[in-house]
Amino acid sequence: MDAARSERRGRPPKVTEASIAEAVLAEGFAGLTVPAVAARLGVSTVTLYRHVPTRAQLLALGWDHVLDDYSWPLLDLPWRELLEAHAVALWDLLAEHPGIVTEMSTAMLPQRMVGLFENLAAALVGQGFTAGQAVRAADAVLDLTLDHRRGAETLTRPVEGTTQSLREQIGTLWAPGHTDDAPTPSAQAAARQAVRQAMSEAIAEDPRVWFRHKLDLILDGIAANHGPTNDSTDATDVRRTIPHDPHPSHSTPNASSPSPRIADSEWSRPT
């Protein structure tokens, strides 16, 4: 009998960190609940809470599992390629796991994401940026990436009480030809219609392509104002090394691209 008890005590636990993480990924990050993960594992919520005390830790465990199998771009790229490559890689990774970007701004901030920021900023310092310039550059690029990806997901959601998505509703509001009741000088009216046309095209643009346009503006600004003192390359001569992919397999066709700023910095910087 003692041998049998010893054997039972020596059996591996039914629930492991790996099995929990796999259950989180199987459920998906969007709207994840502890009972759903427990049910997928075939255990009670009480049992699951013994392993992972909070929902935030559950989300972090799943995201860490994603990062375990992910390889980031090299850190020894020239500074512009470095920031661009990491921003695009992060945008694509977030697109593959809908919901996680929202959770990062409301429920959890994995330590390894802080590590990503630190690695990027340190690499910039190694290329001639001051520490302050490096932090501002990395913060601006990663904030844009997270905000844009979150906005792209938000705008695909249906508007309550309608059959339209938020993107479709915004597209209607920005449709060319729509004007308010206030009289407008003819020159200004033409400018307004041109803006509406451009905005309508932006809303219909593939979100990944629109993100790349915004990223270019950020990188151009960094080159003009915060670039390393030893970088003699003119910003206008820099050519993108990562090809545009207007139809990546994981992107949502026609998801809205221009996204309002939804949250402040993800990196807990002082305001």
End-to-end CA distance of the chain: 64
Tell me whether residue 255 is exposed, middle or buried, using C-beta atoms within 10 angstroms of its C-beta: 0 to 12, 13 to 18, 19 or more: buried
pLDDT band at 164 (very low <50, low <70, confident <90, very high): confident
Nearest 5°: CA angle at 162, between 159 and 164?
65
The mean of the pLDDT values for the chain is: 79
Closest CA to 199 of 153, 259, 262, 263: 259
Q: How far is CA 208 from its chain centroid? A: 11
What percent of the chain shows pLDDT beyond 70? 74
| CA distance linking residue 257 with residue 207, whole number of Å | 4
pLDDT at 246: 45
> Above 90 in pLDDT, residue 261?
no
Query: Exposed, middle or buried: residue 148 (CB in 10 Å: 0-12, 13-18, 19+)?
Result: buried
Specify burial of residue 88 (Cβ count, 10 A radius: 0-12, 13-18, 19+): buried
Tokens for 158, please give them: 């249906």
Reply yes or no on whether the pLDDT at 46 is more than 90. Answer: yes
Report the range of poorest mean pLDDT among 4-8, 12-16, 155-159, 172-176: 4-8
Residues 104-146 have pLDDT tens digits of 877 666 778 888 999 999 999 999 999 999 999 999 999 999 9
Dihedrals phi, psi of 255, to nearest 5 degrees: -70, 145
- Average of per-residue pLDDT across 50-55: 93
Please compute the mean of the pLDDT values over residues 241-259 and round it to a whole number.
Answer: 43
Q: What is the pLDDT of residue 103?
A: 87
d(CA 144, CA 261): 9
Place of tokens 């904030």: 143
Cross-strand pairs, 165: 158
**pLDDT > 90 in the chain, percent:** 49
CB hemisphere CA count around 171 (13 angstroms):
18
Residue 201: is its pLDDT beyond 90?
no
Question: Mean pLDDT, to the nearest integer, of 189-200?
Answer: 84
Residue 250's pLDDT is what?
A: 43
pLDDT at position 150 is: 92
Residue pointed to by tokens 């392509």 = 209
> Is 165 in a helix, a strand, or coil?
strand
Find the length of the chain.
271
C-alpha distance from residue 268 to each of 42, 104, 105, 108 (Å): 37, 12, 10, 12
Whether residue 44 is predicted with pLDDT greater than 90 in this model: the reply is yes
Cα–chain center distance at 176: 30
Predicted local distance difference test score (pLDDT) of residue 195: 86
At residue 171, does pLDDT exceed 80?
Answer: no
Tens digits of residue pLDDT in 1-33: 444 444 445 454 478 999 999 999 999 999 899
